[in-house]
């Protein structure tokens, strides 16, 4: 049943004062026009000239419906949460990367692109609801206070964190805080019967986006960039300069798993590697307001010499801009697998309540004219299945499973053939390691047992490991069959059934990962990557390509 207010219920002074229908409509239209004028005048991002009336009508309709729901709906509702939900669903109709970030999440979303943060500086993992230290960051408050790999954090400032079903984010929020503030950590250490209370003073912690930079041999340098954050360019330039002083004449740049970040940091990094005045990327938006072209301009640190860029399906956005520019300008060969295909440009727009709208305003194109963005015509759900579909179609394992139409063929600066259609297709394809797809291996990882075993091993053999230099460890240390059996037995206790065939299949990968994780605890993050790269098929292929500088490679391109 509905009830509607009616004019007869309202007092009327004189029948002669009743307005005609036309007289009623005029003030309503004036009020609507005034409301629209206030709306558009208060909004710094005005609608386009193409259809401003529809924008105003849509706004007023949404406002009216939200008011009715808030006032008259049978149950109490949170109008702000409903509004956030409606905005999110609206943006899904545009493209997969236009997003609304509520105020409560905005700080966390922005932290990813910062090069430092306030906290205690500790890498941890959650093992069976227990917060376990993997490694304190060198020079940070946790390192100075003596925290060790394997320490179990029981409480932070008197509040229990172990056995409480906390998420990683919740633990982060407890450990981080304003610099200069104190935090009391209660922890349990192997070999001690009683917990320790350790007080630390939070400080500024470096959050480097250049994970590691080192010389593989006396000529070949390796740099891994995990994201393009505020300090990435400065970190990369410093790392590259240091390697040059050590004798670098050829470089492997690892952008695997790099989801992107700030475009200007990515283009400045590319400029360090591209000589002359050459196009790096251009954008094309509605009209010419957001159309840009970016060229190399400065004298870079490494503009000549063999260069290989390693990518995979996790390389996206700004990482694809770098790979595409270096490939199109014939400055580098790209090794690995087709990149993600995220080529939409988002403009961050701060809203009054502290939330943020990241609105797509243009598309990225490589110098040859390739659009980096893959198709999203099938809708958001289908778009999000793309990587799963690549695996199902065999793209991760067979280069010939990828087919391009002739219309997607482009030419590099020296005339080599490259393809568009979404993502950057590598010059040298490297299939994924099939051992990573063992069901047994997947179960071990899902239970976090590999990392847990490595931390426990470090604790049990800490004295012996500390007596070895990293070079000795790298050359002589090996995970034995007996230790793999110990891992399998530990897994069985955790509910992962024994699978002898599955263990044999993934044994090489497990040996490499366990050795790298033990090196991480014993010698630091750089050691972790050095050990992993010794067995990494993509890095080993990249090394073969970059050292073959005297041979003609890939349609006549010679790396010089």
Which residues are the active-site residues? 317, 328, 342
Q: Tell me how far apart the alpha carbons of residues 258 and 3 are, in angstroms, rounded to a whole number.
A: 58
Of 153, 194, 143, 190, the residue nearest 174 (C-alpha): 153
Task: Please give the backbone phi and psi of residue 373, each rounded to the nearest 5 degrees, phi first.
Answer: -70, 130
CB 100 within 8 A of CB 357: yes
Of 384, 113, 117, the residue nearest 263 (C-alpha): 113
Burial per residue of 280-299, b for 16 or more beta-carbon CB atoms within 10 angstroms, e otherwise? bbbbeeeeeeeeeebebeee
Q: Tell me how far apart the alpha carbons of residues 381 and 404 are, in angstroms, rounded to a whole number.
A: 23
Structure tokens at 440: 């047994």
**Beta strand pairing status for 409-411 and 417-419?**
antiparallel
Structure tokens at 148: 């060790």
Of 319, 309, 321, the residue nearest 281 (C-alpha): 321
CB 204 within 8 A of CB 118: yes
Structure tokens at 229: 């954050």
Q: Tell me how far apart the alpha carbons of residues 487 and 450 are, in angstroms, rounded to a whole number.
A: 8
Q: Tell me how far apart the alpha carbons of residues 185 and 473 are, in angstroms, rounded to a whole number.
A: 32
Q: Tell me how far apart the alpha carbons of residues 448 and 442 are, in angstroms, rounded to a whole number.
A: 10
Residues 6+ apart with CB under 8 A from 62: 86
Structure tokens at 101: 């970030």
Structure tokens at 40: 């558009």
Q: Tell me how far apart the alpha carbons of residues 39 and 47 are, in angstroms, rounded to a whole number.
A: 11
Structure tokens at 426: 């590598």
Q: Tell me how far apart the alpha carbons of residues 467 and 522 are, in angstroms, rounded to a whole number.
A: 10
For CA atoms 117, 122, 123, 127, give the dihedral sign.
negative
Specify burial of residue 6 (Cβ count, 10 A radius: 0-12, 13-18, 19+): exposed
Place of tokens 């230099």: 469
Q: Tell me how far apart the alpha carbons of residues 270 and 322 are, in angstroms, rounded to a whole number.
A: 6
For every residue of 270-297, DSSP letters joined together read HHTT--SS-EEEEEEESTTTT-EEEE--
Cross-strand partners of 295:
279
Instruction: State which H helix or E strand residue 319 sits in.
Output: helix 318-328
121: DSSP letter: -
Q: Provide the 3-class DSSP secondary structure of residue 64.
A: helix
């Amino acid at each position: 049943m509905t009830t509607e207010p009616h004019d007869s219920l309202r007092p009327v002074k004189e029948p002669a004062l009743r307005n005609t229908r036309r007289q009623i409509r005029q003030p309503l239209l004036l009020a609507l026009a005034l409301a629209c004028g206030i709306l558009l005048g208060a909004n710094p991002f005005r609608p386009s000239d193409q259809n401003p009336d529809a924008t105003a009508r849509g706004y007023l309709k949404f406002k009216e419906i939200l008011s009715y729901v808030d006032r008259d709906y049978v149950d109490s509702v949170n109008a702000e949460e409903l509004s956030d939900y409606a905005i999110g669903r609206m943006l899904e109709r545009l493209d997969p990367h236009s997003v609304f970030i509520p105020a409560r999440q905005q700080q966390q979303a922005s932290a990813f692109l910062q090069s430092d943060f306030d906290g205690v500086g500790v890498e941890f993992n959650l093992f069976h609801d227990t917060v376990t230290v993997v490694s304190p960051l060198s020079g940070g408050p946790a390192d100075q206070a003596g925290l060790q790999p394997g320490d179990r954090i029981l409480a932070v400032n008197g509040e229990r964190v172990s056995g409480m079903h906390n998420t990683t984010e919740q633990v982060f929020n407890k450990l981080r805080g304003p610099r200069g503030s104190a935090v009391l950590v209660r922890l349990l250490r192997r070999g001690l019967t009683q917990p320790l209370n350790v007080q630390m003073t939070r400080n500024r912690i470096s959050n480097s986006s250049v994970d590691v930079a080192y010389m593989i041999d006396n000529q070949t340098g390796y740099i891994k960039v995990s994201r393009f954050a505020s300090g990435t360019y400065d970190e990369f330039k410093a790392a590259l300069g240091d390697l040059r002083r050590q004798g670098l004449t050829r470089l492997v740049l690892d952008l695997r798993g790099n989801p992107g970040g700030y475009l200007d940091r990515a283009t400045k990094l590319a400029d360090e590697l591209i000589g002359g005045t050459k196009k790096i990327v251009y954008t094309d938006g509605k009209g010419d307001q957001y159309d840009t072209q970016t060229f190399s301009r400065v004298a870079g640190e490494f503009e000549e010499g063999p260069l290989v860029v390693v990518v995979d399906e996790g390389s996206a956005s700004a990482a694809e801009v770098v790979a595409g520019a270096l490939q199109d300008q014939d400055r580098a060969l790209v090794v690995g697998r087709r990149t993600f295909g995220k080529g939409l440009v988002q403009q961050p727009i701060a809203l009054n309540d502290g939330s943020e709208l990241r609105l797509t305003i243009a598309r990225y194109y490589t110098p040859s004219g390739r659009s980096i963005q893959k198709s999203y015509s099938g809708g958001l759900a289908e778009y999000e299945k793309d990587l799963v579909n690549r695996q199902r179609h065999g793209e991760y394992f067979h280069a010939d499973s990828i087919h391009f139409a002739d219309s997607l063929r482009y030419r590099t600066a020296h005339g080599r053939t490259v393809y568009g259609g979404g993502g950057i297709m590598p010059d040298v394809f490297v299939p994924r390691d099939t051992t990573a797809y063992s069901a047994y291996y997947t179960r071990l990882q899902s239970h976090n047992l590999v990392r847990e075993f490595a931390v426990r091993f470090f604790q049990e053999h800490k004295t012996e490991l500390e007596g070895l230099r990293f070079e000795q460890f790298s050359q002589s240390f090996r995970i034995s069959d007996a230790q793999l059996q110990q891992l399998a037995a530990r897994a069985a206790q955790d509910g992962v059934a024994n699978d002898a065939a599955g263990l044999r299949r993934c044994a090489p990968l497990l040996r490499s990962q366990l050795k790298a994780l033990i090196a991480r605890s014993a010698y630091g993050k750089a050691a972790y990557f050095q050990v992993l790269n010794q067995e990494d098929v993509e890095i080993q292929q990249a090394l073969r390509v970059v050292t073959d500088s005297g041979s003609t490679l890939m349609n006549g391109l010679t790396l010089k």
